[in-house]
Structure 1
């Protein structure tokens, strides 16, 4: 049986947030003495909307402990496809 030679090409990739897709925000109530409440906010397009849900839940239940979840979408790019960083210098 002959051995097959294999060539693997390793590329350097970098990740970045996919700006074509909006991030998502959620909150889950983890308050409770014996058992966590686990009430969940709807998926929100902005952090402020998840915060508003937490405040409303606080008013209804008195619960003050929440787990906040931020989900974004990423894309992998070969490093030679990345744009160079641009810096604005501010002089004081």
Structure 2
């Protein structure tokens, strides 16, 4: 589709007459729109699961990082030498 075709399509769409919905259907359609919360529930469920999974992934990642850092830490592998015991040996 080139620019001329697009312009013609947009002009026809702007000048097109609106097809009216029969009055008998309009009331039922609007009632269904007002009471239909299926899409809202699906989006809410999707967002809740997304947040739960992101939280769990963050906690698992933090746990793995902490465990990895703690396993490589050699600070507490040997007990510290106490000055009291060193003084006893030097006397």
State whether TM-score is above 0.5.
no
Range into which the TM-score falls when normalised by the shorter chain: under 0.3
Q: Which structure dedicates a bigger proportion of its chain to strand?
A: 1
Q: Which has the higher helix share?
A: 2
Q: Which has the higher contact order (CA 8 A, sep 6+)?
A: 1
TM-score, normalized by length of structure 1?
0.21
Q: Which has the larger radius of gyration?
A: 2
